[in-house]
Structures are given as C-alpha cells and as structure tokens.
C-alpha cells in the first residue's frame, strides 16, 4: 500500500490545492488534511482485512468530519473517553459500531457509553467489571464486552508506546493469571456478555511477528474457555514518516495473523473467532501536512530555522524522539541544500521539529515550510503551552479547501480563565 503519496519533492500542493494558497487563506501554522487520502486508506484497510472488522482509533485524530468519513467508509470507531464519544454521537455515528477503550474509564465515560449503547466496551480491570456490571444492571440487553489482555509481547518500539509487555498499566496479564480471574468475573455477571479478547501490543510497529505471537497466545487462552466469538488485535501499524522508512505491510500482516489464528484454533479444536483491528495512525498520518512560516534563521555552530509553531502543535519529537522530513514550499532556484535544525517558538531548548534536515541554503524569514505525515497524534496531542493558540485543521479535496476545526483565538484561551 502506498502511504507516501503527498510528498513528491518538493511538496507543492495537497488534494489539488497549492500549499501557498492554503497558507495565505488559513494562516500558519496550519494542519492540512487530504480527505481523499483518508478515505482511500479506509478502503484499503477494509479490502485487506475483509471480512474482519476495521475500527479506526479516534485518538489519532478526531473531529466531526473525520467521524463522518469513517462512518461513510464503513469502519468501526474506537473511542477512549466520553469526549471522543460525544464527537461520534454528534454526527450520529452508529452506536453498534463503536468500541470504548481506556485503562481508567470514569463513571462519566461508562455511563455515556451505556446510554448511547456502544457495541463493545473493552474492560481493563476487575474493578471496572464490577462497576460496569452495576451500571449496566438495569438495562434490557446485556452489554457486550471484550477483555483487554496483556500478552507479554515486546514489539521493540519506543517504551512509551510498548503496551504488550508485562510490567504495564494496560490490560490484564496472561502470565500472572489476572486475565483468567477477570474472565471468570465477567462470566458471572448477568448484565455483561463476554464477546471476546483484546490486546494492543504497541504503536508504530513495522513487522507482523509480535502480532502473530500475541494472536497465538490469545487463542490458546480462549481455548481454556472453549473459544470466544471475537479477537481484537488492536492497532499500532507503522507508517513511514520519512521516505527512507517503511510502514507495516497490511496484507502481509493480515495473512500472518489469519494463518496463526486458524492454526491455533484447529490445533485446539475451537471455532475461529472473527477478527478486529484498530489502526489509527495508519489511516490518517500520511494524509496530513503541517504548514509553518519561517520567523528567523540563526547561523552559528549550526543553522537554526525558527518557525511559528513547535512542540505545542507537534510534541512527538520531544516525547518520542520522532524524526520528520521537511520541505520548503514554492520554487526559488539556485540554492544548494544545507543541513539545518528546524525549531519551534516555545521556551525550551528541546522544542525541535526536525534536527539536521536539508533545506535550501537561502532559507529565510517568510518562507513557507511543509512537514508531511502529520495527520496522526498532532492535532489530537496539541497543547496551549506558552498560551499559544492551536492551529486550524483544513480539509482539502478535489481542488477545494474547507476548515474542519478553526484556529483557536486569544479569546478562546481566555474564556476558561475565570479567576
Ligand atoms: N487501539 C488501542 C487500544 C490503542 O491504545 C491505540 C493507540 C490504537 C488502537 C491505535 O494505535 P495506532 O494504530 O495509532 O498506532 N501518541 C503516540 C501513539 C500512542 C498510541 C496510543 N494507543 C504517538 O504519537 O506515536
């Protein structure tokens, strides 16, 4: 699957709209999202995973338009808070195609999910089973739940996003017997139905091996209870942030896990569960481009290019050491490329967007820069550090642009300050 369609170098347009025009029309910094690309990825996933369920993980990026696109493309939606659920609900996303996640769901999260009637709630602890069972007790239909299991698989990714290893806040350990204990607790609750098992072993995983191991372990565990109808293998599929990187090969992944599940089920004499996957990043990352305007260029031991955004709109380099490519938009001929470090405007030396990246040596204030592959975990993780307003999200499609989320204003920021 092609996940690098936007960045014919140098990047000049997205969805048929010149980036210079977008910067003029919507200002900078701005997140630009290619609607066709998002929809295309949804379709590719449904095709590669057919007949299994594909649930888009809304934590990667969610707004009302995104929820509509995901619905129209027939995917399920994974939400992890009453807030994300409210977005889905506001566009009438079908409740039976929603999964609720979270290792610390609040009473408000659980109540909102039950009220809307979400298809699955993924339970994460014994205490949550008891709380949910009590809340679900007076409903006419029992609530379908999946149990999040920690399979003890190391996906070899940044430790902040390695969630399948034992020493872990997420899920119930297979090895310690906690998972088996909570399965028994769920089975005792008349208001809950155990639809299956779930695991999410991590994020930005480029190889299918960890998924295969996890699938085999979960099927073996299911067999202890005579099998279960569903197996949800979570998300975490890697994308290429830079041209030299590679993402997860999704058809190869599907092949590996389908074969592993079939083999384990037949060896244990249980029926095959239906499968679910929950990609977030792989659906939306490569559809996004962030535009920045250069504010200053400082030559010293190295050349710093200061832009009008930074760690408040992209915290990923600071949090995970993530690397990005970057391009100047617009043609100005003649300049050889030189290594520069593109930094933000925030009050920290760690506020770096891209270290040691090539840009034309005549880069200067006023130039427009584009950072590709910024559709996932950028807008959704943006902050107001230094009382900086968050950028807008602009959708492009068929040569037209429209705002999905408007730029924050100083008034927006002041409105909550009620002291
Ligand atoms: N399912 C569950 C239960 C998850 O916790 C996640 C992500 C996903 C699916 C989707 O994972 P994806 O396919 O997007 O990798 N902020 C980090 C990523 C955190 C992922 C958290 N959970 C980053 O910017 O890299």
Which CATH class, in words, describes the domain spanning 35-284?
alpha beta
Residues 6+ apart with CB under 8 A from 413: 384, 387, 389
- Asked whether the predicted pLDDT for residue 344 surpasses 60, the reply is yes
For 131-166, how does the pLDDT look when each residue is reduced to its tens digit (9 = 90+)? 999 999 978 899 999 999 999 888 888 888 888 888
CATH of domain 286-415: 2.40.37.10
Q: Write b or e for each residue in 337-365: b if 16 or more Cβ atoms lie within 10 A of its Cβ, otherwise e.
A: eeebbbbbbbeeeebbbbeebebbeebee
pLDDT for res 3: 36
For 245-270, how does the pLDDT look when each residue is reduced to its tens digit (9 = 90+)? 999 999 999 999 999 999 999 999 99
Q: Give, for ligand 1, the residue of 148, 204, 278 to mutate: max count of ligand atoms closer than 8 Å to Cβ.
A: 278
Mean pLDDT of all residues belonging to the chain = 94
For 9-34, how does the pLDDT look when each residue is reduced to its tens digit (9 = 90+)? 446 899 999 999 999 999 999 999 99
Burial class from Cβ neighbours inside 10 Å (0-12, 13-18, 19+) for residue 188 reads exposed
Residue 181 CB neighbour total at 10 angstroms = 12
Q: Please, are residues 222 and 147 in contact by the beta-carbon 8 Å criterion?
A: no
Give 60 Cα–ligand 1 centroid separation in angstroms.
Answer: 7
For 85-101, how does the pLDDT look when each residue is reduced to its tens digit (9 = 90+)? 999 999 999 999 999 99
Task: Establish whether 373 is a catalytic residue.
Answer: no
Q: Same CATH topology for 35-284 and 286-415?
A: no
> What's this model's pTM, rounded to 2 decimal places?
0.96
The domain segmentation of the chain, as residue ranges, is 35-284, 286-415
List residues near ligand 1 (CB under 6 A): 57, 59-60, 78, 101, 161, 200, 203-204, 234-237, 278-282, 316, 320, 376-377, 381
Q: How many residues does the chain have?
A: 419
């Amino acid at each position: 699957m092609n996940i690098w369609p936007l960045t014919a170098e140098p990047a000049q347009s997205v969805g048929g709209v010149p980036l210079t025009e977008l910067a003029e029309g919507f200002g900078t910094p701005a997140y630009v999202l290619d609607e066709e690309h998002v929809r295309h990825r949804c379709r590719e996933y449904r095709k590669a995973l057919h007949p299994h369920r594909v649930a888009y993980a809304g934590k990667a990026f969610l707004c009302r338009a995104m929820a509509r696109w995901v619905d129209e493309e027939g995917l399920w939606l994974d939400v992890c808070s009453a807030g994300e659920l409210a977005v889905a609900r506001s566009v009438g996303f079908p409740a039976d195609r929603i999964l609720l996640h979270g290792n610390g769901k609040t009473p408000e999260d659980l109540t909102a999910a039950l009220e809307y009637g979400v298809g699955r709630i993924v339970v994460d602890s014994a205490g949550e089973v008891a709380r949910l069972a009590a809340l679900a007790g007076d409903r006419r239909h029992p609530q379908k739940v999946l149990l999040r299991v920690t399979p003890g698989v190391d996906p070899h990714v940044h430790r902040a996003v390695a969630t399948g290893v034992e020493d872990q806040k997420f899920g119930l350990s297979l090895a310690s017997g906690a998972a088996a204990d909570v399965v028994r607790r769920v089975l005792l609750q008349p208001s809950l139905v155990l639809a299956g098992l779930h695991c999410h072993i991590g994020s930005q995983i480029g190889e299918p091996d960890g998924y295969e191991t996890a699938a085999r372990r979960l099927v073996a565990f299911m067999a202890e209870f005579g099998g279960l109808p569903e197996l949800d293998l979570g998300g975490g599929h890697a994308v290429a942030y830079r041209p030299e990187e590679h993402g997860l090969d999704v058809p190869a992944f599907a092949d590996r896990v389908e074969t592993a599940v079939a083999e384990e089920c037949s060896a244990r004499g249980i029926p095959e569960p239906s499968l679910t996957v929950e990609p977030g990043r792989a659906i939306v990352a490569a559809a996004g481009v962030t535009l920045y305007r250069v504010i200053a260029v400082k030559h010293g031991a190295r050349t710093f290019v200061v832009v009008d955004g930074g760690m408040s709109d992209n915290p990923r380099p600071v949090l995970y050491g993530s690397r990005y490519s970057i391009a100047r938009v617009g043609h100005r001929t003649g300049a050889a490329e030189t290594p520069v470090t593109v930094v933000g405007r925030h009050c920290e030396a760690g506020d770096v967007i891209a270290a040691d990246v090539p840009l034309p040596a005549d880069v200067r204030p006023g130039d427009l820069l584009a950072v590709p592959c910024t559709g996932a975990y950028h807008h959704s993780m943006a902050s107001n550090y230094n009382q900086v307003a968050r950028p807008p999200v602009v959708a492009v499609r068929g040569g037209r642009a429209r705002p999905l989320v408007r730029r924050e204003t100083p008034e927006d920021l002041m409105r909550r300050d009620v002291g």
